[in-house]
Structure 1
Amino acid sequence: MAEDKKKVKALDGAVMTTEGLSFKGFILSPIVENCTGCDRVAAFEEQSYCPAYAEPAKKWARGICNFATHVKATVDKEGKTKVNPLKASKRAAKGR
C-alpha cells in the first residue's frame, strides 16, 4: 500500500493538455517498451509516464537508460575495464 501512495504522488499536480501530459513545466511523453518494469514509471489516465525524464525514447536510443531500476549493469565480454590511453602511455613510459 505504501508503494501505491508513492506512485500517486509521483505525478501529483500533472495536467493533461493537447500537447501531452504537463508536469512541472515539461511535456511528458508516454514510456517505451524498454521502460516496462521500472520502479519510476507512474500511471496517469490509462497511460504510463516517467517522471524522471520527459522523453524516455531518447534515453533508450543510445543504449540503457541510466534511470532504469530494472536493468543491471553488464561487464564487457573480456571482463576488462577500460583504461584511459593517456594514463596507459604514461605508465608504459615509467616502466610499470
Structure 2
Amino acid sequence: MSFQTLKKTLLTSSLITKHGLRKQIEAAVVVEEAQKTLAKVCDDAVAERVRAHSVRAGILVYVTASSPAASEVRARAGEIVRHLAKVLGTTVVKTIIVRIS
C-alpha cells in the first residue's frame, strides 16, 4: 500500500474539482509554502514581521507593518520566486508584491 500526501489527495479529488475548490486549495498551499520560504530565505526578524497573504494570477502578496522588512523581502524577491518554483515543482509565482499596512 502506498501513501500519498494530503496535498496530492486533495488536489486530485473529484469532489474538490467538481465543487470548484481546487484553485482555493492550490492558493492556500502556495501561501503556506511562501511563508516557509520566507523563513528560510530571510532572517528571523524579517520572517516574524511579514506574512504571506494571497496569491492570484502569478502574483504573491506579502503584508507587513515594517518598512525595513518590506525592503528586505523586495530585495530577495527573485530568490523567493526561485525557491518556490523548486519546492512546488512549477513556476506558480512570477511576481512578488509587499504591502505595508
TM-score relative to the length of structure 2: 0.23
| Structure 1 or 2: more strand by fraction | 2
Higher relative contact order (CA 8 A, sep 6+): 2
